[in-house]
Amino acid sequence: MPPTSSRLDIVDALRGFAIVSIMLLHNLEHFDLYHKPAGQPAWLAALDQNIWDGMFFLFAGKSYLIFALLFGVTFHLQDARRAAAGEDFRPRFAWRMLLLLGFGMLNSLFYQGDILSFYAVMSFTLLPVARLGSRAVLAIAALLMLQPYLWVHVLQALPQPDAKLPDPASWAYFARTTEYMTGGTMLQTYLGNVTTGKTAAVLWSWENGRFFQIPALFMLGMLAGRAGMFALSDTNRAMWRRLLVVAVVCFAVLYAATAGLDAAVTGQALRRPLLVIVKSWSNFALMGVIVAGFTLLYQRGTLARLLNVFAPLGRMSLTSYVSQSVVGTALYYSFGLGLYQYTGATACLLIGAVLALLQGLFSAWWLKRHKQGPLEALWHRATWAGVTNPGLGRPAS
């Protein structure tokens, strides 16, 4: 699959769209500092709730899946490019991911829910499957998507489905994070984020099946790259139409199943793992709707120019992601402006939209003058340190 600018452009635009949706959600959450301002008029409280419900329905649990899918696509592009030059990219990729872990831990100082460090660690699952056939990789990804660990909990709960479960382990840690986010100094917040906050995020991700779902999306993205699914062609357009129909049907069934399970299964020990499993599938299906819909719209000429406004953000995804954590926590946490006390979902959505617009304008301005974003350039140089000619075409990171 030869590299083409159109294929990379659509991947960049979709990645930029994911970055914007992540930013909007993080603003609604006050970057994990959940709080509803008191004393709001009833109409504003109702509007806040509707915006919260709508945004979380559309993007919560889906945006990070889009990001993971495109992570796998990027891995394939880089691996294929080096393979064409007779090189094995995997050792360099491992070093690249250690660097990403460093960026992730730096970002974790500002925002405990950082996803970069998770991606860096879980990306090593790509190394043993990178040379397997596509059918074998698909089978492994499907097994991971089934959430095997949670099914163990389901089987264990069958003899006593009504047994009372303790609160998830992450809850106690999240409760402690509120203390330093609302009353701590900047140093206390940063240290708390990489200790207590990071522990809470890891436990929550484990409890919600993301340790299985993210590697599965990496592998599916790699397969999408192998198949050239993001190349602009009539064949791919027809394929995305079929996938859109399948994804819509699957989401409708799974969304109904989620509501049905919550009502039909009364035993807590059985209901909790089943709901996590079905919700993870439902999120995956809605992610498929979003990706297929975006890709089809992009392949309509006039709409492509409109959707390309997201591409600069996508090309600077590392810089964009880290900078939103720095700015967002300074806005909402107590060591900064403390806006968590005064802003509901409506105000936060407006703030997030303004920040996304500013980020997009900055990214477009920067890329007119530089080939990569500032953190992307640093990452690229560190990745290829000691290599005489690392550039084999446009960087895909």
pLDDT reported for residue 390: 60
Segment 16-33 shows an average pLDDT of: 95
pLDDT in tens, 54-87: 999 999 999 999 999 999 999 999 999 999 888 9
Q: What is the mean pLDDT of the chain?
A: 91
pLDDT of residue 2 exceeding 70, the answer is no
Lowest mean pLDDT among 148-152, 261-265, 367-371: 261-265
Segment 214-225 shows an average pLDDT of: 97
Alpha helices in the chain (DSSP H): 5-28, 42-59, 63-84, 90-110, 116-122, 126-129, 134-145, 148-157, 169-183, 186-192, 198-207, 210-226, 234-264, 268-298, 301-307, 311-315, 317-332, 345-367, 374-383
Q: Is the dihedral of CA 253, 255, 256, 259 positive or negative?
A: positive
Count Cβ atoms below 10 Å from residue 91 Cβ, excluding itself. 10
pLDDT in tens, 343-364: 999 999 999 999 999 999 999 9
Tokens (6 digits) for 285: 């299906």
pLDDT reported for residue 397: 42
pLDDT in tens, 122-133: 999 999 999 999
Segment 255-282 shows an average pLDDT of: 90
Segment 284-291 shows an average pLDDT of: 96
Q: What distance in Å separates the CA atoms of residue 63 and residue 33, rounded to the nearest whole number?
A: 20
Buried b (16+ CB within 10 A) or exposed e, 41-62: eeeebebbeebbeebeeebbbb
Segment 308-323 shows an average pLDDT of: 94
Residue 104 and residue 119 in contact, taking contact as beta carbons nearer than 8 Å: yes
